[in-house]
Amino acid sequence: KEARVTCKDGHVCNVIISANGANDFILAACVNITEFKRIENSLKQAIEEKEILIREMNHRVKNNLNILSSMITLQSSTIKDPHFISHLDNIRNRIKVLSIIHEKIYQTENLDTVRMDEYMSAMHKEIYQSLVLDTEIIELQIHIADILLKIKDAISCALTRK
């Protein structure tokens, strides 16, 4: 059992107390784990800081991808060739899908996986909205199993051609 005790010199220590015995005797041990607790708390804080930094990085990547997408949209408005516009739209859609992955990463607790149902729904909604002119005529319905997908696999899905 873990406990906090006050030592003779007045400082508080973390200890593990273990006792075992029978009718005639009791054997007890008390081990000072204060330094282990300090290290454990330091490691927890370092992990928490790392997770915050990773979330912030993914948020910034998402924002930068959205800026790229907007730049492509602006550029495509000045181009007349429909074939070239189609290629730019394809690139923009892929960038948007990558942006969705990074958005899902910074919104989740687990930084190395993405929920496939949320990711695919968001991805398909984005593509649907960019391709369908009249969303009242065509209704998008998506039914996807609730599974976790590794980030590298989610990125592969986003970059796979038709």
Residue matched to tokens 């400082």: 11
Confidence of residue 123 (pLDDT cuts 50, 70, 90): confident
Q: What's the pLDDT score for residue 132? A: 60
Question: Is a pLDDT exceeding 60 seen at residue 162?
Answer: no
Confidence of residue 42 (pLDDT cuts 50, 70, 90): very high
Q: What's the pLDDT score for residue 145? A: 80
Segment holding 41, helix H or strand E: helix 34-76
pLDDT in tens, 70-100: 999 998 889 999 889 888 988 888 888 788 8
| pTM beyond 0.75 | no
3-state percent helix, strand, coil for the chain, nearest multiple of 5: 60, 15, 25
- Residue 33: how many CB atoms within 10 A of its CB? 16
Segment holding 26, helix H or strand E: strand 26-32
The burial class, CB within 10 Å (0-12 / 13-18 / 19+), for 119 is: buried
Give the residue, 65 or 129, on which the prediction is more confident.
Answer: 65
Whole-angstrom distance, CA of residue 59 vs CA of residue 49: 15
92 CB contacts (<8 Å, ≥6 apart)? 69, 72, 73, 76, 130
Q: What's the pLDDT score for residue 7? A: 83
